[in-house]
Amino acid sequence: MLNAKDPDHDYVIKEVLVAAFTLDTELFDAIDAEGTGKILLPEWLNFFRNTLRSKEEAVMGSGQEWVTKMVESLRAACLDAAELEAERAARAMEVEELMTIAEKAYGALATQNKQDEVLRKPELVKAHGDNRFLQLALAFIVQIFDLT
């Protein structure tokens, strides 16, 4: 678990961040502009702003993607094993709920084929084309999460 924030001080210790990740220390040297070994909030935010800007200039969307991944990695590094496992379990449940919705949507679409209740291209194209698929998915979400 990463515990890089010193509760008694308003800085993050660079060595703790570097040890928590298998990243090149030059990356974190870039954050510590004054070379103090401590990363102050203004340095931290400037690093993220500048990196975001340069990545966005190179490829639109890549800066935001980078910041999201970096922040998520840092956040995950702050979790202990139990918190990390609880988060994994919650995500697995979300995936299962989405798969249930997808299965029910398949069933609703397949019943449009009166011949054998197997989803075929015409039913999917028809449903998707007139937003019926979206309507069915929303109906199932309301049903599953009891939003009535």
| Enclosing H/E stretch for 24 | none
Over residues 39-51, mean pLDDT: 89
Residue 41's pLDDT is what?
Answer: 87
Asked whether residue 93 is assigned to any structural domain, the reply reads yes
Which residues, at least 6 apart from 29, have a Cβ–Cβ distance to it below 8 Å? 14, 35
Q: Is residue 95 part of a domain?
A: yes
Is there a contact between 110 and 117 (Cβ–Cβ < 8 Å)? yes
Residues ≥6 apart with Cβ < 8 Å to 59: none
> Please, what is the average pLDDT of the chain?
77
Range(s) of the domain holding residue 46: 11-77
In the predicted structure, residue 42 carries a pLDDT above the cut 60: yes
Of 54, 77, 100, at which residue does a domain stop? 77
SS3 content of the chain, % helix, strand, coil (to 5): 70, 5, 30
Instruction: State mean pLDDT over 61-86.
Output: 85
- pLDDT, one tens digit per residue, over 46-60 is 999 999 999 999 998
Regarding whether 25 and 67 lie in a shared domain, the answer is yes
What pTM does this model have? 0.50
Determine the pLDDT at residue 77.
Answer: 75
pLDDT tens digits along 103-147: 888 888 788 777 887 777 777 767 766 566 666 666 666 666 655
Q: What is the pLDDT of residue 49?
A: 93
Number of domains in the chain: 2
**Does a structural domain hold residue 100?**
yes
Domain end: 37, 62, 77, which one?
Answer: 77
CA angle 97, 101, 105 (to 5 degrees): 170
Q: Do residues 95 and 137 both lie within one domain?
A: yes
Final residue belonging to a domain, choices 51, 77, 103? 77
Residue 106 to residue 10: CA distance in whole angstroms? 53
Q: Do 21 and 8 meet the contact criterion of CB atoms below 8 Å apart?
A: no
Same domain, 65 and 105: no
Per-residue model confidence (pLDDT) at position 119: 74
Whether residue 127 lies inside any domain: the answer is yes
**Amino acid letter, 40:** L
Q: What is the mean pLDDT of residues 1-29?
A: 62
**Does some domain include residue 29?**
yes
Are 72 and 92 in a shared domain? no
- 102 with 119, same domain? yes
- In this structure, the answer to whether residues 65 and 91 fall within a common structural domain is no
